[in-house]
Amino acid sequence: MKTLVKTNTLLMVMLVLPTLCFSQTNPKNVPQPPTDELKKFDPFLGKYNVSGDFANLQWAGTLELKRVIKGWYIQQIILVKTEGVDREFWLLATWDKSTQKYRLWGFQTLPFTLEGDIRFEGGEMITEWVSVRPDGTKVSDSNRYRLTSNGQLEITSYRQVGNEPVTKIGFLTGERMP
């Protein structure tokens, strides 16, 4: 039995090791980040002091959007506080060449992570993710990021539960920090 386990383990290592070790050793075939696609984020990049109302609570803190991981991703970090709530929310977004869309992954101070999409319409950046409640009801959450003519960032948050009408659940404004 021990010999079989050792043999299987050795075989697996021999099959996987070349994939891991030689995946990016050809300098003429190094993957490049999706630079052209990520340029759409450029107007929104920066750090902002944000405040506003979200879910009937007054929020205040910072929001930062920046390029990370050698230009492959856009990272958003939101640090906000309100009475009784201290929230940290991280997003990573990039262009997914195989699906031809922007994907995002969110990590927050709640017991779940988010996967969603980003799209650009006019001058707005729209994040959206769908979840399913324990009773099977589909919930769609979205945020619309817009820069005003004076450079302020405005974020309007919406939620749609099942077939109910879309409702506004928050609004934040942000002043770009130097």
- Residue 80 belongs to a domain with what CATH number? 2.40.128.20
Q: Is residue 18 part of a domain?
A: no
| 26 lies in some domain | no
Amino acid letter for position 88: E
- pTM attached to this predicted model: 0.80
User: Looking at the domain assignment, is residue 164 inside a domain?
Assistant: yes
Tens-binned pLDDT, residue by residue, of the chain (178 aa): 666 656 655 556 555 555 555 556 777 777 888 989 999 999 999 999 999 998 888 999 999 999 999 999 999 999 998 887 788 889 999 999 999 999 999 887 765 668 999 999 999 999 999 988 889 999 999 999 999 988 899 999 999 999 999 999 999 999 999 8
| Helices and strands per DSSP (H, E), number in the chain | 2, 10
**Residue whose entry in the numeric block shows the structure tokens 């021999």:** 14
Domain count, the chain: 1
In a domain, 17, yes or no: no
In a domain, 57, yes or no: yes
- 């050795």: which residue's tokens? 10
SS3 159: strand
**What range does the domain containing 94 cover?**
35-176
Q: Does residue 19 fall inside a structural domain?
A: no
Asked if the structure places residue 25 within a domain, the reply is: no
In a domain, 72, yes or no: yes
* Nearest residue to 127 via CA among 140, 139, 136, 108: 140
